[in-house]
Amino acid sequence: MSATDRPATLFYQPNGFRVINPGNHVVCAISGEAVQLESLRYWSVDRQEAYASAELATGRLLEQR
C-alpha cells in the first residue's frame, strides 16, 4: 500500500499539524469520511482528531460542554 492511498497519522497543533506516518488523508472522527490532507481545515488539539467540516467540529466542541 502506498502513501497515496492510506490514512496519515498526524499530531495536531494549534496552527497546523505534523505528519507522524505518511498518507494522503485522515478519517473524520465524527462521520468516518476521508479528508484529503490538502483540504484538512478542522481538528481538535485536545482530542487529537480531525473533522470533515466546520459543522462537525462545532458539534464536537459543543458536546464537550
Taking the model in full, what pTM does it have? 0.89
Reply yes or no on whether the pLDDT at 65 is more than 90: no
> Is residue 32 over pLDDT 60?
yes
Count CB atoms within 10 A of the CB of residue 57.
20
Question: Does the structure show a pLDDT above 80 at 4?
Answer: no
Q: Look up residue 43 and give its three cell numbers.
A: 481538528
Domain containing residue 60: 3-64
Residue 3 phi, psi dihedral angles, 5° rounding = -65, -15
Q: Among candidates 21, 65, 50, 42, which has minimal Cα distance to 7? A: 21
Beta strand segments in 1-65, E = 9-13, 16-21, 25-27, 34-36, 42-44, 49-51
Total domain count for the chain? 1
pLDDT band for position 40 (50/70/90)?
very high
pLDDT surpasses 60 at 1: no
C-alpha cell at 24: 494522503
